Amino acid sequence: MGKTKQAKQKINTLSQKQKDQENFSEKICHFIGDHLQAPQFLKDNKYIKQGYRINFKSTREILKSFFMIHNESINIWTHFLGVITLIFLTFFLLTQYNHSIDLQQWKQRMIQNVNNQLEPIYKQMKEMDEAFNEQMNERFFEKYKDELIGKIENLRYELIQQIDSHQFDWIDFYMDDYINKNEFLIEKSNTHVVSRWPIFVFLLSAILCLLFSTLFHLFYCKNPKYFQFFLRLDFAGVSLLVSGSTFPPFYYGFYCNFYLAYFYLSLVTIVSAFVFLVSIQEFINKPEYFAFRSFIQGLLGFFSSIPIGHLIYLEVFKENNNDTYSTANSIGYYLVVCFCYLIGLIIFALRCPERYKPGHFDICGASHQLWHVMVLIGIGLTYVASIINFYTRKINICKDGF
């Protein structure tokens, strides 16, 4: 009984000490303090011991903390620099990438490419012919007649075999291209326009997601109301990023099927809007709604995966007879993106590595910061995959495209 009483007294003493620290902190100006001095709403991670922004009550003080070193510095700067980078990429895409392709020029280049590939073959055949004629004029032609004819026949046979081999697969490629596309090139105009708006939708969604995250990590220290509001905005930004990332693969993948493309894009947009609106409601951050919040986020992921499965099915089973487009050259990027997000979430959920060395990763290297880095990598790879989708669609023309 005596030991139990002492333990309770010790706990009460520590609690009182913490309350005294918090009361003392409230009476002085803003500063960077430790876990004991920080108000309760700032203590999201018990393994982070130092670097809390305490008593940052005004917007001016908070903006100044943008250039201070604290436990949110990395979180703020990673996504802020991400916003700047994406804005730069948006302007670069607007000014540097041409959304149309000159079909006549493209056709001439293909013909020139074929001629360049065939020229060495023609040259070799000509040399063989000249060598044969030269040998015919020699006195000893009769002696070696059969041998020369046999060698020439062997060379001709080897040349034909080489043309038919995998080393010259480009011949079949160009022949198929001309068979499939020549009629279209004749009937249609000389300019084939492929819109870039799906890439801009993705970039805008990524910019908003990173911007909302930056605002949350910068301003949530002001008071509990700010914390709750910007946290909801942060969650809502995730739904924008998920839906925006689907626009390039869906639009360019189903480019030849107007109704199917816009059906899937509309479906993802509606579900994303629903998740966004729910995420900014006050009730969503309450503990009793954690399961519901997880459910609607999973719902968005589920509806986003359906079109991807459909697109892969069409390509694998060759259902797209009028479309030579393929996601094969970009699917690897999207798989790595999913892997980055998954690994980042696992690290964030496990509070790794700070849980194993509390206080050692207060400023740099904490789980939330690693999650931010993984998000940036995922966004960067999605941008690369989107550009690949765009250019793949530009050179794969369908008769009923929009």
Q: Residues marked as binding?
A: 217, 368, 372
Supply 47's token pair. Answer: 């393994």
- Cα separation of 67 and 170, whole Å? 57
For residue 353, is the peptide bond before it cis, meaning its omega torsion is within 30 degrees of 0?
A: yes
Q: Residues marked as binding for Zn(2+)?
A: 217, 368, 372
